[in-house]
Amino acid sequence: MVEARHATERNKQCDVKGCGSEAERSVSGEAAVDAGLKVDEGKKRVHLCKEHYREYKRSSRKDRQLQNLGR
């Protein structure tokens, strides 16, 4: 049996409060909270819809650039 790897293959919903859209991606819960998304704190992974994933990417752009410079 092959396990689904992507959120869309498992029919997950977006974990942002008030959003019921189908999830596209998942990110760490801590990173989502740091980006300003309203998700339940304490979760390891949160699933995000396309709209909220774009919002996460915009909010965390500087942090991700600084992290990549340290490699």
Show me where the domains of the chain are located.
7-69
Alpha-carbon gap, residue 43 to 29, rounded angstroms: 5
> Among residues 63, 31, 61, which one has the least CA distance to residue 46?
31
Predicted pLDDT of residue 64: 84
Predicted pLDDT of residue 52: 96
**What are 11-66's pLDDT values in tens digits?**
789 999 999 899 999 999 999 999 999 998 888 999 999 999 999 999 999 988 88
Query: Between 7 and 18, where is the model more confident?
Result: 18
Give strand ranges (E) for the chain. 25-28, 45-48
